[in-house]
Amino acid sequence: MASRTATTPEVKPLRFVLRNLNKYIYIRLKDNTLLYGRLAACDTNMNVVLMEAEEKNNDGETIIKYGKVFIRGNNIIYFQFPDLPVS
């Protein structure tokens, strides 16, 4: 297990999210909806814009295609970042 040292940089969560701009991510909403799309924008309220957004079921199958969507941050439970190298 990694140990914390004095040199650990304290990365803010929003900064972590913004590192994933233009990556494809999953977003779980409070009403249990699962969205998948390319992260185009995010602010401090976690309002986000997704491009090529799709609603997925829990098996990862596409249910609905939305295209460009803005999601108000207060509806969001989590973002999941598929494990891709961050440039």
Task: Find the binder of a second copy among 30, 57, 59, 61 (CB under 8 A).
Answer: 30
Two tokens, residue 35:
């969205």
Least distance to a second copy from the beta carbon of 39, Å?
Answer: 9
How far apart are alpha carbons 27 and 47 in whole angstroms?
Answer: 11
- Binding to a second copy (CB under 8 A): which residues in 47-66? 47-49, 66
> Which residue is associated with the tokens 């439970």?
77
DSSP state of 52: E
Tell me which of 12, 57, 59, 60 binds a second copy, using CB under 8 A.
12
d(CA 85, CA 54): 23
Binding site for a second copy (CB under 8 A): 1-5, 8, 10-24, 29-31, 38, 40-43, 46-49, 66-83, 86-87
